[in-house]
Amino acid sequence: MNQEKLSERRNWLFIILAGLFITNAVTAELISNKLIQVPIEFNLFGSHFGPFATIIGILPWPVVFLLTDLMNEFYGQKAVRRLSWITAGLIAYCFIIVGLSLAIPAYEIPGSDLADNASYLKVFGQSQMIIVGSICAFLVSQLLDAFLFDKIKHKTGNRFIWLRSTGSTVVSQVIDSYIVLYIGFVLPGKMSFGTYMTVAPTNYILKLLIAVSLTPLIYLGHYLMRRYLNKAEGNSPVVSE
């Protein structure tokens, strides 16, 4: 009976985590055509640095980082790989729907605040190449993250949660940060290569800082998930897969 309850809890927990994962990934792609300024400035070796620029799509990614690590820990690399492919397919589906919406003329009502064709195209038209770049970057970075996470865990066992969580992110997000900006902004001519070489490192450093700052939440997530699953086994230990 306890085993059935544990299986049911694991399944429901995965559905919830997967739903949050997909929602945040798709949302990040839809809003990534907007640049924001990071109000950080400092002097180093006589040179002034900042403020910096990055894409606003970085906002949902901390949640994706956290969920990736938790699902890697409790459901394994295989589950994360499958979810990554499914998410990439759903992002592509979103790309198709947005493309169809761009092809349908807007019905413009005088005095209405609804978007006209020009406004709609300006916002969502730019997101098409960003979505293409994001699909490529997302798949490569997520599959690499899952692989590295699994390798580090294999070497360290259940110790050093912070090492496998941060270590896998450090490498995978280099690829993600550079691929998505190059395909999404540089290739369609929305960003110069010089700007790209400024924004991409900033984007990566911010993701890295976010990943490090999330370490306490990763430990909290581990605790809460283990506690939730342990209740199904009468407080017997739950071993990560």
Residue-wise pLDDT for 150-189, tens only, equals 888 888 877 777 788 777 877 787 877 788 778 777 887 7
Domain that includes residue 196, residue range = 2-34+54-233
Closest CA to 18 of 26, 28, 30, 7: 26
Name the burial class of residue 201, with classes exposed (0-12), middle (13-18) and buried (19+) by CB atoms within 10 angstroms of its CB: middle
In a domain, 25, yes or no: yes
Average pLDDT on 116-142 reads: 76
Tokens, residue 7: 């299986």
Residue 156, in any domain of the structure? yes
Asked whether residue 241 is domain-assigned, the answer is no
The 10s digit of each residue's pLDDT in 15-63 is: 999 999 999 988 887 887 777 777 777 776 666 667 777 778 778 887 8
For residue 49, the model assigns a pLDDT of 66
For residue 234, pLDDT over 70 is answered with no
Q: What is the CATH number of the domain that holds 154?
A: 1.10.1760
User: For the chain, what is the domain count?
Assistant: 1
- 45 lies in some domain: no
pTM: 0.78
- Asked, for residue 104, whether it belongs to a domain, the answer is yes
Sequence-distant contacts of 221-230: CB under 8 A, at least 24 apart: 221/66, 221/69, 221/70, 222/70, 222/73, 222/161, 225/13, 225/70, 225/74, 228/9, 228/13, 229/6, 229/9, 229/10, 229/13, 229/74
Residue 140 has pLDDT above 80, yes or no: yes
Residue 241's pLDDT band, with cuts at 50, 70 and 90, is: very low
Q: Is residue 154 part of a domain?
A: yes
The answer as to whether 140 is a domain residue is: yes
Cβ neighbours around 189 below 10 Å, total: 8
